[in-house]
């Protein structure tokens, strides 16, 4: 079986060394020393000044919405994972969907401006497959209309825009460190902001509102993470350059192997420090996609319709987004992970080409 992804695991001895320290200290959670060390090393790695490590990427989004005090309508993308939308609804706001750019698959800034009304309070946009949103244009719109900006950067670890981390943009940026992500802590996530007051607010929100053992500063949740999860992150972080190099090699090998396949790709040229976190392809039709999934499954190969369906088509949402709808019907992510072999990539490519060359399959 070839899955669509496998979590990267560091050398076990490195993780065990951190576990030994956890056993010695008997400090398992509640902002322990490894959590603090991970935050420090992530800031150094990403070149940022302020962040908080949290339980997962979804709680990161929820904390961001709560910290900004958002109400009313939030303009967002239909082409993202469900947590982007469910977090908006969970926090009592209304998602308003606007369509995506057909080449980059990120939210269309022109559509954002057209959707703004007196109820609009924020923009929540997603960087897709490591492809950054048009952050400068989005910020111009936000400044013009007095809106807040949140970025879902679950796919964007390590990516830069104009020499700065992608997490430097917006009022708050978030990231997921789930096991399927390029950098992971098994479960985990982060919030990033340049505003010290916002960071302080989110630190209270992350820990039940605690402002000392017997004092509280507003309502909070349990958004913390454990020493065990931080230990995994600390073990993986030194491996990131090798992980990204391997992904880049696999990405380029797929492109070479699939040269004869009638597919297109999202636009990834001119992206600074692109992270090669996924390998999405766009078929000419949904029928071709479904036939390809079928032959891959029959040969023990996983793939994923990522993202499908569009978030505007959920049973609790609505919105007309034809570009996203069309993209969702034709996009497929192929296996890409650290131990995927070139021989396995060759087999995947041959199966996809067999479907194309045999219309009756």
* pLDDT tens-digit series, residues 239-284: 999 999 999 999 999 999 999 999 999 999 999 999 999 999 999 9
Residue 212's pLDDT is: 87
pLDDT over 90, % of the chain = 97
User: Using N-to-C axis directions, what is the helix angle for 82-90 and 57-67, rounded to 10°?
Assistant: 40
* pLDDT tens-digit series, residues 22-57: 999 999 999 999 999 999 999 999 999 999 999 999
Residue 276's pLDDT is: 98
pLDDT(359) > 80: no
Q: Would you list the domain boundaries of the chain?
A: 12-238, 240-357
Q: Per the confidence metrics, is the pTM higher than 0.85?
A: yes
- The b/e string for 235-259 (b: 16+ C-beta within 10 A; e otherwise) is bbbebbeebbebbeebbebbeebbe
In this structure, which CATH number among 3.30.300.30, 3.40.50.1470, 3.10.20.30, 3.40.640.10 belongs to the domain 12-238? 3.40.640.10
Q: Which of 101, 47, 90 is nearest to 322 (CA)?
A: 101
Whether omega before 307 lies within 30 degrees of 0, making that bond cis, reads yes
Average pLDDT estimate for 82-111: 98
Query: How far apart are alpha carbons 180 and 182 in whole angstroms?
Result: 7
- Three-state SS for 56-103 is CHHHHHHHHHHHCCCCCEEEECCCCCHHHHHHHHHCCCEEEECCECCC
* pLDDT tens-digit series, residues 199-220: 999 999 999 999 988 899 999 9
Q: Sign (positive/negative) of CA torsion 61, 231, 27, 32? A: negative
In the block, residue with structure tokens 């600074």: 272
Domain 240-357 matching CATH 3.90.1150.10: the answer reads: yes
Q: Kindly indicate the confidence band of residue 170, based on its pLDDT and cuts at 50, 70 and 90.
A: very high
Q: What is the DSSP letter of 269?
A: T
């Amino acid at each position: 079986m070839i899955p669509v992804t496998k979590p990267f695991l560091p050398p076990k001895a490195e993780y065990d060394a951190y576990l030994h320290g956890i056993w010695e200290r008997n400090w398992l959670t509640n902002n322990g020393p490894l959590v603090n060390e991970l935050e420090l090393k992530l800031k150094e790695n990403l070149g940022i000044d302020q962040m908080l490590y949290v339980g997962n990427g979804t709680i990161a989004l929820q904390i961001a919405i709560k910290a900004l005090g958002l109400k009313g309508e939030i303009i967002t993308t239909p082409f993202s994972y469900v947590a982007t939308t469910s977090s908006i609804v969970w926090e009592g706001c209304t998602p308003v969907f606007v369509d995506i750019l057909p080449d980059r698959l990120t939210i269309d800034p022109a559509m954002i401006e057209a959707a703004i009304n007196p109820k609009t309070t924020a923009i929540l946009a997603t960087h897709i497959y490591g492809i950054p949103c048009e952050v400068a244009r989005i910020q111009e719109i936000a400044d013009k209309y007095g809106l807040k900006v949140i970025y879902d950067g679950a796919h964007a670890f390590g990516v830069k825009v104009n020499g700065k981390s992608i997490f430097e943009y917006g009022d708050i940026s978030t990231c997921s460190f789930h096991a399927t992500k390029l950098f992971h802590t098994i479960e985990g996530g982060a919030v990033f902001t340049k505003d010290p007051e916002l960071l302080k607010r989110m630190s209270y929100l992350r820990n039940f509102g605690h402002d000392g053992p017997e004092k509280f500063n507003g309502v909070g949740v349990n958004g913390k993470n454990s020493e065990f999860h931080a230990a995994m992150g600390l073990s993986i972080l030194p491996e990131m350059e090798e992980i990204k190099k391997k992904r880049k090699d696999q990405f380029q090998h797929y492109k070479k192997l699939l040269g004869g396949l009638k597919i297109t790709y999202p636009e990834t040229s001119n992206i600074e420090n692109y992270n090669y976190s996924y390998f999405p392809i766009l078929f000419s039709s949904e029928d071709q996609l479904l036939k390809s999934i079928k032959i891959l499954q029959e040969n023990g190969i996983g793939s994923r319709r990522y993202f499908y369906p569009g978030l505007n088509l959920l049973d609790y949402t609505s919105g007309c987004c034809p570009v996203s709808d069309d993209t969702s019907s034709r996009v497929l992510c192929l296996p890409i992970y650290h131990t995927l072999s070139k021989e396995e990539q060759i087999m995947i490519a041959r199966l996809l080409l067999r479907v194309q060359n045999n219309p009756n399959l």
